Amino acid sequence: MSDRQLSDSVVRAIIHAPADKVDIADWLFHLPDSEYQRCSHAHIAAGVTTTDDGKPMSINVETIGDALVIQHYHAEIHEPLHCRMVSISDAITKNGRSKVQVVWDLSAKPLDDTSCEYTNHINAYATDEFLEFIKAHGVTFEQAAAARQSASDAHNKEETPNFAKSIEAHALGKGWHTF
């Protein structure tokens, strides 16, 4: 879907915890709704469930730009230092409802014995439904992509340092509500 890429946002932050204590998958699939909400003013709700075949899922509700987005993330990879989550997400705007594919890649790499670099990488892609939706509303792909890129970057810059702080607290056994 690279020819349908709407946005590509990468933000990094430091986790002040050793890599062997960091477990992004455990953090993500035990993240309380209230902690998720603290990580960004645009976060509305989060929960976890499973697919019909038992694979872990993260359900996130947030605003990205002027869209309310409901993400149904399926875990393609769920390891201590790497999670790759893929969602066909509902995007609701004042003009109606459509769907976009979102790929959320969370990873940490050791920097030294006491810290890691956390990377929050988010890609959004247009679905056929989204392409029909923007065409019906007189919006070019380039306009939609520019708006999504701007909104995604702003959102990612806010949530990433807070995700890193939350992952750090979880890794160090400090629990939730620590930042």
In sequence order, the 6+-apart residues with CB closer than 8 A to the CB of 178 are 165, 166, 169
The residue type at 93: T
pLDDT, one tens digit per residue, over 65-121 is: 999 999 999 999 999 999 999 999 999 999 999 999 999 999 999 999 999 999 999
Q: Where are the domains of the chain?
A: 2-171
Identify the residue whose tokens are 């872990």. Answer: 56
**Rounded percentage of the chain residues whose pLDDT exceeds 70:** 98
Q: Which two tokens stand for residue 94?
A: 């004042």
Query: Architecture of 2-171 per CATH?
Result: 2-Layer Sandwich (3.30)
Burial level of 57, CB count in 10 A (0-12/13-18/19+)?
middle
pLDDT, one tens digit per residue, over 111-130 is: 999 999 999 999 999 999 99
The residue type at 102: V
- Rounded-to-integer distance, Cα 176 and Cα 128, Å: 40
Distance linking the first and last C-alpha atoms of the chain: 37
Neighbour tally for 167: CB within 10 Å: 25
pTM for this predicted structure: 0.96
